[in-house]
Amino acid sequence: ATTKLGNGIFLPHLIASLEQVDQTYIMVKPDGVQRGLVGEIISRFEKKGFKLTGLKLFHCSKELAEEHYKDLNQKSFFPKLIDYITSGPVVSMAWEGVGVVASARKLIGATDPLQAEPGTIRGDFAVQTGRNIIHGSDSPENGKREIALWFKEGELCEWTPIQQPWLRE
Ligand code: ADP
């Protein structure tokens, strides 16, 4: 998707990319915020090369938490999960990029932090499923759905990072 001109100037993304750009919803859960891991987590996604398009810290309502996790509402741990997610402020983020959904899941690691590989966020910073510090969407469809759920209109930012031509040829 990048055009290299004869004089060495790159014109990234003037030609529409054939590769699908996806969005994922990433959330630092209340334990991640309380433990001072917000900067570390943002940094990992930034350094990887994804684009941040939305970011806010807030204390979410029970209704929002229940809607977000509605697929799990028959699970025995559901009430505890809602208490956990609403127990303090969360950091909501929207990240964009080719392959961002699957890559974010790899950066995050397995749901059970004891099974998560070292080097992943959960593998490095957590020990229990009920305190696994971060959420990441599990499909591009859910990425879109969750971003629409957690962000209001006008809260997302369209921009072009200057590093883009150095990340993708
Ligand atoms: P993931 O967050 O890795 O996509 P799931 O969608 O299976 O995992 O579960 C959503 C969240 O519900 C988990 O991140 C975790 O916070 C919580 N959870 C899942 N299973 C359990 C469990 N057995 N006990 C307590 N909390 C759980």
**pLDDT value, residue 162:** 96
The yes-or-no answer on residue 135 being catalytic is yes
Per-residue pLDDT tens for 160-169?
999 999 999 9
Cβ of residue 128 lying under 6 Å from some atom of ligand 1: no
**pLDDT value, residue 18:** 73
pLDDT at 6 over 80: no
More confident position, 12 or 150: 150
Cβ of residue 91 lying under 6 Å from some atom of ligand 1: no
Per-residue pLDDT tens for 48-107?
999 999 999 999 999 999 999 999 999 999 999 999 999 999 999 999 999 999 999 999
Q: Please give the distance, rounded to the nearest whole angstrom, from the Cα atom of residue 133 to the centre of ligand 1.
A: 11
pLDDT at 8 over 70: no
Substitution candidate for ligand 1 out of 132, 134, 139 with most atoms within 8 A of CB = 132
**pLDDT value, residue 72:** 98
3-class secondary-structure state, position 114: coil
pLDDT at 10 over 70: no
Per-residue pLDDT tens for 116-140?
999 999 999 999 999 999 999 999 9
For residue 27, the one-letter residue type is M
Q: Decide if the complex's ipTM is over 0.95.
A: yes
pLDDT at 114 over 90: yes
**pLDDT value, residue 82:** 98
Please give the number of the atom of ligand 1 that sits closest to the Cα of 108: 3
3-class secondary-structure state, position 21: strand
pLDDT at 2 over 90: no
Cβ of residue 111 lying under 6 Å from some atom of ligand 1: yes
Q: How far is CA 79 from the centre of its chain?
A: 24
> Parallel, antiparallel, or unpaired for β 51-58 and 90-98?
antiparallel
Residue 124: CB atoms within 10 Å: 16
Instruction: Kindly report whether the global pTM for this prediction surpasses the value 0.95.
Output: no
Q: Please give the distance, rounded to the nearest whole angstrom, from the Cα atom of residue 49 to the centre of ligand 1.
A: 27
pLDDT at 39 over 80: yes
Residues in the chain: 169
Beta strands in 43-157 (DSSP E): 51-58, 90-98, 134-136
Q: Are 128 and 10 in contact (CB under 8 A)?
A: no
Tokens encoding 2: 């990048």
Tokens encoding 120: 């992943």
CA–CA gap between residue 96 and residue 106 (Å, rounded)? 15
Residue 93: CB atoms within 10 Å: 27
**pLDDT value, residue 122:** 99
Cβ of residue 90 lying under 6 Å from some atom of ligand 1: no
